[in-house]
Chain A
């Protein structure tokens, strides 16, 4: 595939991940671009499309971690900017909750629930054990459930 095809195929997916990881659109854009730079620099062969996709996610994930480390003292979270275009407030709420999860937890939650990877695949991408993935998912579920409670238990 040409770089043009790669960008068109994966940029939205990577951008979503980076926005959720970083909570900031401009930083997310940088992280995506860095990921593609890395892709070009490595010029490697992939077994198949899924392999390629997982590799890109892994690189983007690492880039987000680097950027978060750097921005730890000066976080540039801008959830309002991200959710401003949503007409449905429910979308804004759930996305805000996801972005506010701790980074390690939301990485696992995102890949498992949004991207649909299995725990073993999440483990491979994040470079952690399957048990660690399961713990993070459990923690994510608990935290999201707490949020549900805080919101008056689903506004019944």
Chain B
């Protein structure tokens, strides 16, 4: 069934002549084959994968230094959710209306252009200025609310021509040429926002077209799951939104009005949230770059997880981070604050076998910016609250103690490996439990 050996058929004559080129290319392919064969999945990762597969769950893996349970939760929403969410759910109704008016041929050209580009993403001739960044946030909000550009970004297909214009898009290499000596105008910013929406919409639409049968089968399967759960006393999607809205008020102290809301049944949530299927309900404050995520259990309407992200969060967390020697003294107070939050803000007053905390330290960077507090119940399921060092709760999720311990160790190992590589010397990372 398989070919043996490696043969590369040349069709173009080069200066070296056919035979030399063929020989060189054959050598190159042979080298390539050897190089690829060096890529192996580490044995411990295979074993971890097997364990998780046997349990019917996916392994959570580290996305980088900010990886935590909340990150798993968010990534779950993004990777699993957005891909499977119909394109209509991603944009406001006004934007959707605009996107639907884009001729099919134009959308087709967008995706063909993306396919033809041999680059992995967009690039720019200069970074955005602070003024542009601020204006972009405002215009993004206005765009969602129906303020659209009068024209379209100029597209050119060669570098020489691109250099003749102050503001244009070079299609061949996906480069945005921004004005060299001034800020972008509002019209130019709107054109760029519009361009990106159209392109993403076209891309998502093609995905849905290419996977019509698969999506239909998945939807039917999901509908069946929902029907069965409802018959057994589960909650509807509308009820899940109401429950999440209540938690939005209780936990974050805000109302959902004025924010972009999207919600859907996330059949894959069971793979990241203690085996329970859930609805995903999210509010986006696009103007201020704040995002609130909720997972509400299908079977009982229980809050299974929530998290919040914003642009300024990293700075806020860093600002209250203590020195290594001060950290242990803060733990008791953070535990108390977390317990109060659980009872008063979330209405969860249960008895717990124990309350544990865990934070991470590295020999190079001191304590990490977050402390996890784990309220472990008799059945070993636990409320996990992620807190900043001033006791502010940033995220909540339902976990099992065992999973949390395993994940903490995996993350510790991954961080140690990454820091050691980054710093070029051995860096130790420790999980400090209390």
Residues of chain A having any CB pair with chain B under 8 Å = 3-4, 7-8, 11-12, 15-16, 19-20, 23, 26, 29-30, 32-34, 36-37, 40, 50, 66-67, 69-70, 72-75, 77, 82, 84-86, 90-92, 94-95, 97-98, 100-102, 104, 110, 113-118, 121, 138, 141-145, 148-149, 153-154
Contacts and interface: CB of A to CB of B under 8 A. Distances in A.
Given A7-B46, A69-B83, A70-B82, A145 B121 contact: no
A12 B1 contact: no
B213 interface: no
A110 B29 CA distance: 10
Given A92-B35, A104-B115, A72 B203 contact: yes
Contacts of A11: 41, 46, 49
A15 B40 contact: yes
B54 A3 contact: yes
Nearest to B2: A116
Grouping DSSP codes into helix (H, G, I), strand (E, B) and loop, the A interface class, with mixed when no group exceeds half, is helix
B53 A3 contact: yes
B31 A145 contact: no
B101 interface: no
Contacts of B79: 30, 67, 70
Interface string B83-125: 1000000000000000000000000000000111110111000
Contacts of A50: 1-2
Contact of A7 (B2, B9, B49): B49
B271 interface: yes
Given A11-B41, A11-B46, A29-B41, A145 B120 contact: no
Q: Indicate the member of B3, B25, B58, B122 with the most A CB atoms within 10 Å.
A: B3
A145 B82 contact: no
16 contacts: A15-B41, A30-B58, A40-B56, A66-B207, A70-B82, A70-B83, A94-B35, A100-B118, A101-B118, A102-B115, A110-B36, A121-B1, A141-B10, A142-B12, A143-B118, A145-B21
A20 B36 contact: yes
Given A37-B271, A117-B3, A149-B14, 4 more contacts: A12-B40, A70-B79, A102-B116, A117-B2
Contacts of B46: 7-8, 11
The 5 closest A-B pairs by CB, nearest first: A91-B35, A75-B120, A15-B41, A94-B32, A95-B35
Given A3-B53, A69-B207, A77-B120, A113 B8 contact: yes
A155 to B, nearest CB: 11
Contact of A154 (B3, B4, B24, B36): B24
A116 B61 CA distance: 31
Contacts of A104: 115
Given A91-B34, A145-B14, A33 B52 contact: yes
A3 B50 contact: yes
A82 B39 contact: yes
Contact of B121 (A73, A90, A121, A154): A73
Contacts of A26: 61-63
